[in-house]
């Protein structure tokens, strides 16, 4: 073969290879970095950190990627996830050094006011670890998130992670649970965690949620089904009006003794506070009826039912 033939063949092969390379789509640039995810500690008393590797395309919303990783929950069994796992991240909008985050409606399904506070802290601190983000605003289904106070929360800066932070304060309360025979209620002293600026109604709600969790001492019995939710609390002129979810009736085991334990544990727990003299109990807005007693009127403290 002639030298000219080899030159033409080489030129042809190079042209084919160049055409093949040109036809391949450019590879997407993948960024992998280590980020901090913030969760509650096992008692939801402070924020703790887990480091995790995440990967995303350069043009992808890295804040959304971080939040979706956060929602997956902690890997350490001593850390608590407070954001409902069904929550979806619709997207984020960056405005200067502020970031707006939009979640699905599932975000509202918290297991109590403390869980809600820690969830907010975990979101804000996870996002403000990025140097370009100073504050975060939360939306739910496109609407500004309303906090426990009933007001929009607006833009929030980083939460302190320390136990002594404004994230929480401790208060001691007496919770009344049933005795072994369901003949009386017995007080159990419990330390609960609240915000420093928690008003009376929010405080009572936290106390009731703690009562629903049940006793910690041996020999005491729970008096309220664990599935029950506190829908609202209102305090006026010494009367605490408490509205419970329907599980108070449909999940209650019934019986006159069990019913008496439920009523007396709630009333005696709340009347430990000087500003509450009687308690009005409703279920989904209607007078509470577990089995035997139809509670249309507020109920006062019953010292005779307290075992000393």
- Closest to 224 measured CA to CA, from 207, 236, 241: 207
- What is the spatial distance between Cα 191 and Cα 172, in angstroms, rounded to a whole number? 4
Listed as ranges, residues in the chain with pLDDT below 70 are 1-27, 148-151, 161-170, 194-198, 291-292
| Phi, psi dihedral angles at 173 (to 5 degrees) | -135, 165
Task: Pinpoint the residues of the chain covered by CATH 3.30.300.
Answer: 169-305
Cβ within 8 Å of residue 174, ≥6 positions away: 187, 188, 189, 190, 269, 272
- Supply 56's token pair: 């995303």
- What is the spatial distance between Cα 294 and Cα 297, in angstroms, rounded to a whole number? 9
- Supply 261's token pair: 């334990």
Per the listing, tokens 């308690």 go with 279
pLDDT value of residue 148: 60
- Closest to 79 measured CA to CA, from 119, 107, 38: 38
Give me the CATH code for the 169-305 domain, please. 3.30.300
**What's the pTM?**
0.49
pLDDT value of residue 163: 36
Contact 122, 86 (CB under 8 A): no
pLDDT value of residue 245: 94
**For 140-177, b where at least 16 C-beta lie within 10 A, e where not — what string?**
beeeebebbeeeebeebebbeeeeeeebbeeeebebbb
Q: Where are the alpha helices (DSSP H) in 193-274?
A: 200-213, 247-250, 256-270
pLDDT value of residue 300: 94
Q: With the CA atoms of 37, 41, 44 and 46 taken in that order, what torsion angle do they form, in degrees rounded to the nearest 10?
A: -80
A 10 A CB-CB count for 92 gives 19
């Amino acid at each position: 073969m002639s030298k000219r033939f080899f030159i033409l063949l080489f030129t042809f092969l190079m042209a084919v290879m160049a055409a093949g390379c040109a036809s391949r789509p450019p590879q997407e640039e993948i960024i992998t970095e280590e980020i901090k995810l913030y969760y509650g500690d096992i008692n939801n008393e402070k924020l703790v950190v887990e480091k995790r590797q995440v990967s995303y395309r350069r043009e992808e919303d890295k804040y959304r990627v971080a939040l979706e990783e956060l929602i997956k929950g902690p890997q350490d069994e001593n850390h608590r996830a407070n954001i409902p796992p069904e929550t979806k991240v619709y997207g984020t909008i960056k405005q200067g050094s502020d970031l707006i985050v939009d979640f699905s409606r599932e975000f509202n399904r918290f297991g109590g006011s403390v869980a809600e506070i820690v969830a907010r802290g975990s979101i804000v601190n996870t996002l403000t670890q990025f140097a370009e983000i100073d504050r975060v605003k939360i939306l739910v289904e496109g609407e500004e998130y309303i906090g426990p106070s009933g007001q929009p929360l607006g833009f929030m800066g980083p939460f302190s992670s320390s136990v002594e932070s404004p994230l929480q304060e401790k208060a001691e309360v007496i919770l009344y649970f049933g005795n072994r025979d369901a003949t009386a209620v017995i007080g159990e002293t419990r330390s609960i965690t609240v915000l420093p600026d928690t008003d009376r109604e929010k405080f009572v709600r936290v106390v009731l949620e703690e009562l629903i969790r049940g006793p910690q001492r041996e020999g005491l019995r729970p008096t309220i089904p664990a599935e029950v939710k506190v829908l609202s609390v209102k305090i006026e002129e010494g009367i605490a009006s408490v509205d419970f979810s329907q599980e108070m009736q449909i999940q209650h085991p019934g019986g006159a003794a069990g019913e008496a334990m439920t009523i007396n544990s709630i009333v005696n727990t709340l009347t430990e506070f000087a500003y509450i003299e009687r308690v009005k109990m409703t279920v989904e807005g209607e007078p509470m009826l577990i089995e035997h007693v139809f509670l249309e009127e507020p109920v006062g403290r019953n010292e005779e039912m307290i075992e000393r």
